[in-house]
A and B are shown apart, each in its own frame.
Chain A
Amino acid sequence: MTPNHRFPRAPYALLALGVILLLLGSYLGLFVAPPEHFMGDVQRIMYVHVPTAWNALLAMTFALVCAIAFLFRGDFRWDARMEAAIEVGVLLAFLLCCQGAIWAKPTWGVWWDWDPRLTTTAVLLFAFIGILALRRFVDDPVRRATWSAVATIIAYADVPIVYYSVTWWNSLHQLQSSPATVSKSFHLPLRMNAFAILFLMTGFIMLRARLASLRLEHELAPPPHELDAVGELA
Protein backbone atom coordinates (compact mmCIF):
# COMPACT_ATOMS: atom_id res chain seq x y z
CA MET A 1 0.00 0.00 0.00
CA THR A 2 2.87 2.40 0.65
CA PRO A 3 4.51 3.18 -2.67
CA ASN A 4 8.19 3.84 -2.90
CA HIS A 5 8.86 7.57 -2.97
CA ARG A 6 12.35 7.31 -4.49
CA PHE A 7 12.87 8.22 -8.12
CA PRO A 8 11.76 5.14 -10.10
CA ARG A 9 14.81 4.10 -12.14
CA ALA A 10 13.70 0.77 -13.56
CA PRO A 11 10.69 1.98 -15.59
CA TYR A 12 12.67 4.83 -17.17
CA ALA A 13 15.47 2.43 -18.10
CA LEU A 14 12.87 0.15 -19.70
CA LEU A 15 11.34 3.08 -21.60
CA ALA A 16 14.76 4.16 -22.93
CA LEU A 17 15.60 0.62 -23.96
CA GLY A 18 12.20 0.32 -25.64
CA VAL A 19 12.66 3.52 -27.65
CA ILE A 20 16.12 2.45 -28.86
CA LEU A 21 14.90 -1.02 -29.85
CA LEU A 22 11.83 0.41 -31.58
CA LEU A 23 13.99 2.78 -33.63
CA LEU A 24 16.36 -0.04 -34.58
CA GLY A 25 13.60 -2.52 -35.38
CA SER A 26 11.64 0.00 -37.41
CA TYR A 27 14.76 0.97 -39.35
CA LEU A 28 15.39 -2.68 -40.16
CA GLY A 29 11.75 -3.21 -41.06
CA LEU A 30 11.43 -0.11 -43.21
CA PHE A 31 14.76 -0.02 -45.03
CA VAL A 32 16.65 -3.29 -44.67
CA ALA A 33 14.06 -6.08 -44.92
CA PRO A 34 13.08 -6.89 -48.53
CA PRO A 35 9.57 -5.86 -49.65
CA GLU A 36 6.95 -8.62 -49.50
CA HIS A 37 6.23 -9.88 -53.01
CA PHE A 38 2.41 -9.88 -52.85
CA MET A 39 1.68 -6.72 -50.89
CA GLY A 40 4.90 -4.76 -51.35
CA ASP A 41 5.76 -1.95 -48.97
CA VAL A 42 2.29 -1.88 -47.34
CA GLN A 43 3.20 -5.11 -45.63
CA ARG A 44 5.92 -3.32 -43.64
CA ILE A 45 3.27 -2.05 -41.19
CA MET A 46 3.21 -5.63 -39.90
CA TYR A 47 6.53 -4.99 -38.16
CA VAL A 48 4.75 -2.70 -35.75
CA HIS A 49 1.19 -4.02 -36.10
CA VAL A 50 1.84 -7.59 -35.01
CA PRO A 51 3.99 -6.64 -31.99
CA THR A 52 1.33 -4.11 -30.95
CA ALA A 53 -1.31 -6.82 -31.15
CA TRP A 54 0.69 -9.26 -29.01
CA ASN A 55 1.36 -6.65 -26.40
CA ALA A 56 -2.19 -5.27 -26.33
CA LEU A 57 -3.46 -8.77 -25.60
CA LEU A 58 -0.73 -9.19 -23.00
CA ALA A 59 -1.71 -5.93 -21.26
CA MET A 60 -5.39 -6.92 -21.15
CA THR A 61 -4.48 -10.38 -19.85
CA PHE A 62 -2.36 -8.78 -17.15
CA ALA A 63 -5.36 -6.61 -16.24
CA LEU A 64 -7.43 -9.78 -15.87
CA VAL A 65 -4.78 -11.33 -13.62
CA CYS A 66 -4.77 -8.14 -11.50
CA ALA A 67 -8.59 -8.17 -11.31
CA ILE A 68 -8.71 -11.76 -10.06
CA ALA A 69 -5.84 -11.13 -7.64
CA PHE A 70 -7.63 -8.07 -6.23
CA LEU A 71 -10.93 -9.89 -5.73
CA PHE A 72 -9.20 -12.71 -3.85
CA ARG A 73 -6.60 -10.72 -1.94
CA GLY A 74 -8.16 -7.28 -1.52
CA ASP A 75 -4.70 -5.73 -1.83
CA PHE A 76 -4.90 -2.29 -3.43
CA ARG A 77 -1.55 -2.72 -5.17
CA TRP A 78 -3.40 -5.02 -7.58
CA ASP A 79 -5.99 -2.31 -8.14
CA ALA A 80 -3.27 0.18 -9.06
CA ARG A 81 -1.67 -2.32 -11.42
CA MET A 82 -5.03 -3.11 -12.99
CA GLU A 83 -5.76 0.55 -13.63
CA ALA A 84 -2.34 0.96 -15.24
CA ALA A 85 -2.68 -2.19 -17.36
CA ILE A 86 -6.15 -1.19 -18.60
CA GLU A 87 -5.03 2.30 -19.57
CA VAL A 88 -1.95 1.09 -21.42
CA GLY A 89 -4.02 -1.71 -22.98
CA VAL A 90 -6.60 0.80 -24.19
CA LEU A 91 -3.84 2.90 -25.75
CA LEU A 92 -2.34 -0.11 -27.51
CA ALA A 93 -5.76 -1.34 -28.70
CA PHE A 94 -6.48 2.13 -30.08
CA LEU A 95 -3.15 2.17 -31.95
CA LEU A 96 -3.90 -1.34 -33.18
CA CYS A 97 -7.26 -0.26 -34.64
CA CYS A 98 -5.61 2.72 -36.36
CA GLN A 99 -2.87 0.54 -37.82
CA GLY A 100 -5.44 -2.01 -38.92
CA ALA A 101 -7.44 0.70 -40.72
CA ILE A 102 -4.30 2.03 -42.38
CA TRP A 103 -3.42 -1.47 -43.54
CA ALA A 104 -6.97 -2.23 -44.71
CA LYS A 105 -7.33 0.83 -46.96
CA PRO A 106 -4.67 -0.07 -49.59
CA THR A 107 -5.22 -3.82 -49.14
CA TRP A 108 -9.00 -4.17 -49.24
CA GLY A 109 -9.89 -0.66 -50.47
CA VAL A 110 -11.83 0.21 -47.30
CA TRP A 111 -10.79 1.61 -43.91
CA TRP A 112 -12.75 -0.94 -41.99
CA ASP A 113 -13.27 -4.52 -42.90
CA TRP A 114 -14.92 -7.06 -40.69
CA ASP A 115 -11.70 -8.81 -39.92
CA PRO A 116 -12.38 -10.83 -36.75
CA ARG A 117 -9.16 -9.71 -35.08
CA LEU A 118 -9.70 -6.05 -35.87
CA THR A 119 -13.36 -6.11 -34.82
CA THR A 120 -12.60 -8.00 -31.63
CA THR A 121 -9.95 -5.42 -30.79
CA ALA A 122 -12.43 -2.60 -31.36
CA VAL A 123 -15.04 -4.25 -29.11
CA LEU A 124 -12.41 -4.85 -26.45
CA LEU A 125 -11.28 -1.24 -26.77
CA PHE A 126 -14.78 0.09 -26.12
CA ALA A 127 -15.38 -2.39 -23.30
CA PHE A 128 -12.25 -1.26 -21.49
CA ILE A 129 -12.94 2.43 -22.14
CA GLY A 130 -16.27 1.75 -20.41
CA ILE A 131 -14.39 0.37 -17.40
CA LEU A 132 -12.14 3.45 -17.29
CA ALA A 133 -15.30 5.61 -17.36
CA LEU A 134 -16.73 3.57 -14.48
CA ARG A 135 -13.58 4.26 -12.49
CA ARG A 136 -13.99 8.01 -13.05
CA PHE A 137 -17.56 7.96 -11.77
CA VAL A 138 -17.07 6.00 -8.55
CA ASP A 139 -15.53 7.96 -5.70
CA ASP A 140 -15.26 5.27 -3.06
CA PRO A 141 -11.90 3.53 -3.67
CA VAL A 142 -13.08 0.13 -2.41
CA ARG A 143 -16.13 0.01 -4.66
CA ARG A 144 -14.17 1.43 -7.58
CA ALA A 145 -11.59 -1.33 -7.26
CA THR A 146 -14.11 -4.13 -6.76
CA TRP A 147 -16.45 -3.07 -9.52
CA SER A 148 -13.77 -2.48 -12.11
CA ALA A 149 -12.25 -5.87 -11.25
CA VAL A 150 -15.67 -7.50 -11.81
CA ALA A 151 -16.16 -5.58 -15.06
CA THR A 152 -12.68 -6.57 -16.26
CA ILE A 153 -13.40 -10.26 -15.74
CA ILE A 154 -16.73 -9.96 -17.54
CA ALA A 155 -15.25 -8.02 -20.45
CA TYR A 156 -12.34 -10.42 -20.85
CA ALA A 157 -14.63 -13.44 -21.01
CA ASP A 158 -16.27 -11.78 -24.01
CA VAL A 159 -13.12 -11.81 -26.17
CA PRO A 160 -13.38 -15.36 -27.56
CA ILE A 161 -17.14 -15.06 -28.08
CA VAL A 162 -16.80 -11.84 -30.07
CA TYR A 163 -14.01 -13.39 -32.10
CA TYR A 164 -16.07 -16.44 -33.02
CA SER A 165 -19.20 -14.47 -33.79
CA VAL A 166 -17.37 -12.16 -36.18
CA THR A 167 -15.51 -15.05 -37.79
CA TRP A 168 -18.76 -16.90 -38.44
CA TRP A 169 -20.48 -13.81 -39.74
CA ASN A 170 -17.62 -13.27 -42.16
CA SER A 171 -17.18 -16.83 -43.32
CA LEU A 172 -20.85 -16.92 -44.25
CA HIS A 173 -20.42 -13.75 -46.29
CA GLN A 174 -17.10 -13.70 -48.06
CA LEU A 175 -13.79 -15.43 -48.21
CA GLN A 176 -11.68 -14.70 -45.17
CA SER A 177 -8.76 -12.49 -46.12
CA SER A 178 -6.19 -12.26 -43.39
CA PRO A 179 -2.72 -10.76 -43.23
CA ALA A 180 -0.18 -13.19 -44.62
CA THR A 181 2.08 -14.80 -42.08
CA VAL A 182 5.45 -13.22 -41.99
CA SER A 183 8.15 -15.30 -43.63
CA LYS A 184 11.42 -16.29 -41.98
CA SER A 185 13.59 -13.45 -43.33
CA PHE A 186 11.44 -10.83 -41.62
CA HIS A 187 11.71 -12.26 -38.13
CA LEU A 188 14.47 -10.03 -36.73
CA PRO A 189 12.69 -6.63 -36.98
CA LEU A 190 9.45 -8.24 -35.82
CA ARG A 191 11.08 -9.67 -32.70
CA MET A 192 12.95 -6.44 -31.98
CA ASN A 193 9.77 -4.42 -32.14
CA ALA A 194 7.89 -6.96 -30.07
CA PHE A 195 10.43 -6.59 -27.26
CA ALA A 196 10.60 -2.83 -27.78
CA ILE A 197 6.86 -2.46 -27.25
CA LEU A 198 6.97 -4.94 -24.38
CA PHE A 199 9.59 -2.80 -22.62
CA LEU A 200 7.70 0.41 -23.35
CA MET A 201 4.48 -1.15 -22.10
CA THR A 202 6.05 -2.51 -18.92
CA GLY A 203 7.70 0.85 -18.23
CA PHE A 204 4.45 2.74 -18.70
CA ILE A 205 2.47 0.28 -16.58
CA MET A 206 5.03 0.56 -13.76
CA LEU A 207 4.94 4.36 -13.84
CA ARG A 208 1.16 4.50 -14.10
CA ALA A 209 0.68 1.95 -11.30
CA ARG A 210 2.96 4.05 -9.11
CA LEU A 211 0.84 7.11 -9.83
CA ALA A 212 -2.33 5.16 -9.02
CA SER A 213 -0.81 3.96 -5.74
CA LEU A 214 0.11 7.50 -4.78
CA ARG A 215 -3.43 8.65 -5.49
CA LEU A 216 -4.88 5.78 -3.48
CA GLU A 217 -2.61 6.67 -0.60
CA HIS A 218 -4.06 10.16 -0.77
CA GLU A 219 -7.64 8.92 -0.95
CA LEU A 220 -7.45 6.41 1.88
CA ALA A 221 -6.83 7.60 5.39
CA PRO A 222 -3.90 6.01 7.23
CA PRO A 223 -4.91 3.30 9.71
CA PRO A 224 -6.22 4.71 13.00
CA HIS A 225 -3.56 3.05 15.12
CA GLU A 226 -1.03 5.23 13.31
CA LEU A 227 -3.07 8.31 14.13
CA ASP A 228 -2.95 7.58 17.88
CA ALA A 229 -5.16 5.80 20.33
CA VAL A 230 -5.24 2.47 22.00
CA GLY A 231 -8.76 1.06 22.11
CA GLU A 232 -10.26 1.50 25.53
CA LEU A 233 -11.57 -1.70 26.98
CA ALA A 234 -15.10 -1.31 28.17
Chain B
Amino acid sequence: MIAALRKELLLQWRTRAQAIAVFVFGATSLLLFSFAIGPNASALRQHAAGFLWLALLLSSTLTLAESFHAEMEHRALEGLLLLPTSPRAIYYGKAIANWLQLALLGIALVPITVVLYDAATPRLGSLILIILLGTAGISAPGTLYSAMTSQTTRGKQMLLPLLLFPLIVPVLLAAARATSLLILGDPMEQTASWLRLLAAFDAIYWSLCGLLFDRVVEE
Protein backbone atom coordinates (compact mmCIF):
# COMPACT_ATOMS: atom_id res chain seq x y z
CA MET B 1 0.00 0.00 0.00
CA ILE B 2 2.90 2.34 0.75
CA ALA B 3 4.28 1.61 -2.72
CA ALA B 4 0.87 2.30 -4.28
CA LEU B 5 0.60 5.56 -2.35
CA ARG B 6 4.13 6.59 -3.39
CA LYS B 7 3.25 6.04 -7.03
CA GLU B 8 0.05 8.10 -6.68
CA LEU B 9 1.84 11.00 -5.05
CA LEU B 10 4.55 10.87 -7.72
CA LEU B 11 1.90 10.91 -10.46
CA GLN B 12 0.13 13.82 -8.79
CA TRP B 13 3.40 15.71 -8.51
CA ARG B 14 4.14 15.16 -12.21
CA THR B 15 0.68 16.43 -13.17
CA ARG B 16 0.59 19.28 -10.65
CA ALA B 17 -0.48 21.70 -13.39
CA GLN B 18 -3.86 19.98 -13.27
CA ALA B 19 -4.14 20.42 -9.50
CA ILE B 20 -3.48 24.12 -9.95
CA ALA B 21 -6.15 24.30 -12.64
CA VAL B 22 -8.62 22.61 -10.29
CA PHE B 23 -7.75 25.14 -7.59
CA VAL B 24 -8.43 27.99 -10.02
CA PHE B 25 -11.74 26.35 -10.88
CA GLY B 26 -12.67 26.17 -7.19
CA ALA B 27 -11.66 29.79 -6.60
CA THR B 28 -13.68 30.89 -9.63
CA SER B 29 -16.74 29.06 -8.32
CA LEU B 30 -16.36 30.83 -4.99
CA LEU B 31 -16.25 34.16 -6.80
CA LEU B 32 -19.35 33.27 -8.83
CA PHE B 33 -21.26 32.12 -5.74
CA SER B 34 -20.50 35.46 -4.07
CA PHE B 35 -22.11 37.22 -7.03
CA ALA B 36 -25.24 35.15 -6.44
CA ILE B 37 -25.55 36.76 -2.98
CA GLY B 38 -24.55 40.29 -3.89
CA PRO B 39 -22.70 42.88 -1.79
CA ASN B 40 -24.31 42.10 1.54
CA ALA B 41 -21.61 41.45 4.13
CA SER B 42 -23.73 39.61 6.69
CA ALA B 43 -25.46 37.42 4.09
CA LEU B 44 -22.07 36.56 2.59
CA ARG B 45 -20.72 35.54 5.98
CA GLN B 46 -23.86 33.52 6.62
CA HIS B 47 -23.38 31.45 3.44
CA ALA B 48 -19.58 31.28 3.34
CA ALA B 49 -19.27 27.76 4.77
CA GLY B 50 -21.88 26.27 2.46
CA PHE B 51 -20.28 27.80 -0.62
CA LEU B 52 -16.80 26.70 0.42
CA TRP B 53 -18.01 23.10 0.56
CA LEU B 54 -19.97 23.39 -2.67
CA ALA B 55 -16.87 24.72 -4.45
CA LEU B 56 -14.82 21.89 -2.97
CA LEU B 57 -17.41 19.32 -3.99
CA LEU B 58 -17.58 20.57 -7.58
CA SER B 59 -13.78 20.67 -7.88
CA SER B 60 -13.49 17.20 -6.38
CA THR B 61 -15.23 15.59 -9.36
CA LEU B 62 -12.45 16.97 -11.58
CA THR B 63 -9.71 15.68 -9.29
CA LEU B 64 -11.32 12.26 -8.92
CA ALA B 65 -11.93 11.82 -12.65
CA GLU B 66 -8.36 12.88 -13.37
CA SER B 67 -6.92 10.37 -10.90
CA PHE B 68 -8.02 7.45 -13.08
CA HIS B 69 -7.09 9.03 -16.39
CA ALA B 70 -3.46 7.89 -16.14
CA GLU B 71 -4.60 4.42 -15.09
CA MET B 72 -6.81 3.91 -18.12
CA GLU B 73 -4.59 5.44 -20.80
CA HIS B 74 -2.55 2.25 -21.24
CA ARG B 75 -4.50 0.12 -18.76
CA ALA B 76 -1.77 0.63 -16.18
CA LEU B 77 -4.28 -0.25 -13.46
CA GLU B 78 -4.69 -3.71 -14.97
CA GLY B 79 -0.91 -4.00 -15.05
CA LEU B 80 -0.81 -3.30 -11.31
CA LEU B 81 -3.63 -5.72 -10.55
CA LEU B 82 -1.77 -8.52 -12.33
CA LEU B 83 1.19 -8.08 -10.00
CA PRO B 84 0.92 -10.01 -6.75
CA THR B 85 -0.43 -7.00 -4.84
CA SER B 86 -3.88 -6.92 -3.34
CA PRO B 87 -6.47 -4.75 -5.11
CA ARG B 88 -7.34 -3.34 -1.71
CA ALA B 89 -3.85 -1.86 -1.34
CA ILE B 90 -4.23 -0.20 -4.73
CA TYR B 91 -7.59 1.22 -3.71
CA TYR B 92 -6.37 2.60 -0.41
CA GLY B 93 -3.25 4.05 -2.02
CA LYS B 94 -5.39 5.89 -4.49
CA ALA B 95 -8.06 6.94 -2.01
CA ILE B 96 -5.46 8.33 0.41
CA ALA B 97 -3.71 10.22 -2.38
CA ASN B 98 -7.01 11.71 -3.53
CA TRP B 99 -7.87 12.55 0.05
CA LEU B 100 -4.60 14.44 0.55
CA GLN B 101 -5.05 16.32 -2.69
CA LEU B 102 -8.63 17.29 -1.87
CA ALA B 103 -7.68 18.32 1.67
CA LEU B 104 -4.90 20.54 0.30
CA LEU B 105 -7.36 22.00 -2.18
CA GLY B 106 -9.82 22.67 0.64
CA ILE B 107 -7.16 24.37 2.75
CA ALA B 108 -6.05 26.42 -0.25
CA LEU B 109 -9.62 27.60 -0.80
CA VAL B 110 -9.96 28.85 2.79
CA PRO B 111 -8.08 32.15 2.27
CA ILE B 112 -10.16 32.84 -0.84
CA THR B 113 -13.32 32.32 1.20
CA VAL B 114 -12.03 34.54 3.98
CA VAL B 115 -11.31 37.36 1.52
CA LEU B 116 -14.48 37.08 -0.56
CA TYR B 117 -16.95 36.37 2.24
CA ASP B 118 -15.30 38.07 5.21
CA ALA B 119 -15.47 34.69 6.94
CA ALA B 120 -12.46 34.47 9.22
CA THR B 121 -12.20 32.13 12.18
CA PRO B 122 -9.57 32.01 14.89
CA ARG B 123 -9.96 28.23 15.29
CA LEU B 124 -7.77 27.18 12.38
CA GLY B 125 -6.98 23.78 13.88
CA SER B 126 -10.65 22.83 14.06
CA LEU B 127 -11.19 24.09 10.52
CA ILE B 128 -8.40 21.88 9.19
CA LEU B 129 -9.84 18.92 11.09
CA ILE B 130 -13.25 19.51 9.47
CA ILE B 131 -11.64 19.76 6.04
CA LEU B 132 -9.71 16.54 6.64
CA LEU B 133 -12.79 14.63 7.78
CA GLY B 134 -15.01 16.07 5.06
CA THR B 135 -12.62 15.43 2.17
CA ALA B 136 -12.07 11.91 3.49
CA GLY B 137 -15.80 11.41 3.08
CA ILE B 138 -15.67 12.62 -0.52
CA SER B 139 -12.55 10.65 -1.40
CA ALA B 140 -13.57 7.14 -0.27
CA PRO B 141 -16.75 6.72 -2.36
CA GLY B 142 -15.44 9.15 -4.98
CA THR B 143 -12.39 7.00 -5.72
CA LEU B 144 -14.55 3.89 -6.04
CA TYR B 145 -17.08 5.57 -8.31
CA SER B 146 -14.45 7.16 -10.52
CA ALA B 147 -12.87 3.73 -10.92
CA MET B 148 -16.24 2.68 -12.35
CA THR B 149 -17.00 5.69 -14.50
CA SER B 150 -13.49 5.92 -15.94
CA GLN B 151 -14.04 2.47 -17.43
CA THR B 152 -17.32 3.33 -19.15
CA THR B 153 -17.10 4.21 -22.81
CA ARG B 154 -19.90 6.77 -22.71
CA GLY B 155 -21.05 9.42 -20.26
CA LYS B 156 -17.89 9.50 -18.10
CA GLN B 157 -18.15 13.15 -17.07
CA MET B 158 -21.84 12.94 -16.28
CA LEU B 159 -22.00 9.69 -14.34
CA LEU B 160 -19.53 10.52 -11.59
CA PRO B 161 -21.43 13.52 -10.14
CA LEU B 162 -24.73 11.76 -10.76
CA LEU B 163 -23.64 8.85 -8.56
CA LEU B 164 -21.52 10.73 -6.06
CA PHE B 165 -23.52 13.83 -5.19
CA PRO B 166 -26.62 12.19 -3.66
CA LEU B 167 -24.39 9.86 -1.67
CA ILE B 168 -22.36 12.58 0.02
CA VAL B 169 -25.30 14.73 1.09
CA PRO B 170 -24.52 13.92 4.75
CA VAL B 171 -20.88 14.96 4.28
CA LEU B 172 -21.92 18.24 2.70
CA LEU B 173 -24.49 18.86 5.45
CA ALA B 174 -22.20 18.04 8.35
CA ALA B 175 -19.08 19.72 6.99
CA ALA B 176 -20.88 22.88 5.92
CA ARG B 177 -22.72 23.08 9.24
CA ALA B 178 -19.58 22.54 11.30
CA THR B 179 -17.61 25.09 9.27
CA SER B 180 -20.44 27.55 9.59
CA LEU B 181 -20.46 27.15 13.36
CA LEU B 182 -16.74 27.93 13.42
CA ILE B 183 -17.23 31.12 11.42
CA LEU B 184 -20.44 32.36 13.03
CA GLY B 185 -19.84 31.11 16.56
CA ASP B 186 -21.03 28.00 18.31
CA PRO B 187 -22.92 28.96 21.48
CA MET B 188 -24.41 25.49 21.99
CA GLU B 189 -21.22 23.48 21.36
CA GLN B 190 -22.68 21.54 18.43
CA THR B 191 -19.53 21.25 16.32
CA ALA B 192 -18.45 18.06 18.02
CA SER B 193 -21.62 16.16 17.08
CA TRP B 194 -21.18 17.13 13.41
CA LEU B 195 -17.58 15.95 13.54
CA ARG B 196 -18.77 12.64 14.95
CA LEU B 197 -21.23 12.28 12.07
CA LEU B 198 -18.42 12.94 9.58
CA ALA B 199 -16.18 10.43 11.33
CA ALA B 200 -18.95 7.81 11.25
CA PHE B 201 -19.52 8.39 7.53
CA ASP B 202 -15.77 8.09 6.90
CA ALA B 203 -15.47 4.89 8.92
CA ILE B 204 -18.38 3.25 7.07
CA TYR B 205 -17.29 4.20 3.56
CA TRP B 206 -13.55 3.72 3.97
CA SER B 207 -14.19 0.11 4.98
CA LEU B 208 -17.14 -0.64 2.65
CA CYS B 209 -15.49 0.78 -0.49
CA GLY B 210 -12.26 -1.09 0.26
CA LEU B 211 -14.23 -4.33 0.34
CA LEU B 212 -16.09 -3.60 -2.91
CA PHE B 213 -13.24 -2.18 -5.03
CA ASP B 214 -12.08 -5.60 -6.20
CA ARG B 215 -15.47 -6.23 -7.81
CA VAL B 216 -15.38 -2.90 -9.63
CA VAL B 217 -12.03 -3.40 -11.35
CA GLU B 218 -12.29 -7.08 -12.25
CA GLU B 219 -13.28 -8.07 -15.75
Contact = CB atoms under 8 A, between A and B. Distances in A.
Contacts of B58: none
A126 interface: yes
Interface residues of A, number: 32
B117 to A, nearest CB: 21
Interface in A124-166: 124, 126-127, 129-131, 133-134, 137-139, 143, 146-147, 149-151, 153-155, 157-158, 161-162, 164-166
A123 interface: yes
A27 interface: no
A164 B166 contact: no
A146 B152 CA distance: 13
A71 interface: yes
B183 to A, nearest CB: 16
Contacts of A134: 148, 152, 159, 162-163
Contact of A123 (B141, B144, B154, B169): B169
A150 B197 contact: no
A229 interface: no
B200 interface: yes
A131 B209 CA distance: 16
B193 interface: yes
Contact of A165 (B165, B170, B216): B170
A53 B34 CA distance: 39
B123 interface: no
Interface in B136-185: 141, 144-145, 148, 151-155, 158-159, 162-163, 165-167, 169-170, 173-174, 177
A184 B72 CA distance: 61
A154 B209 contact: yes
Nearest to B167: A158
Contacts of B76: none
Interface residue SS majority, chain A: helix
Interface string B47-60: 00000000000000
A161 B152 CA distance: 29
Contact of B208 (A131, A137, A157, A165): A157
Contact of B170 (A137, A149, A155, A161): A161
A165 B212 contact: no
A131 B159 CA distance: 9
Interface string B177-218: 100000000001010011001001100110011001001101
Contact of B173 (A133, A150, A155, A165): A165
Given A146-B216, A158-B167, A137 B152 contact: yes
A161 B200 contact: yes
A214 B46 CA distance: 54
21 contacts: A124-B166, A127-B167, A133-B162, A134-B148, A139-B153, A146-B216, A147-B148, A149-B215, A150-B148, A150-B212, A150-B215, A151-B145, A151-B148, A153-B208, A154-B209, A154-B212, A161-B200, A162-B170, A165-B174, A169-B173, A172-B190
Interface of A: 71, 123-124, 126-127, 129-131, 133-134, 137-139, 143, 146-147, 149-151, 153-155, 157-158, 161-162, 164-166, 168-169, 172
Given A166-B173, A168-B193, 7 more contacts: A130-B159, A131-B163, A151-B148, A154-B209, A155-B167, A158-B169, A161-B201
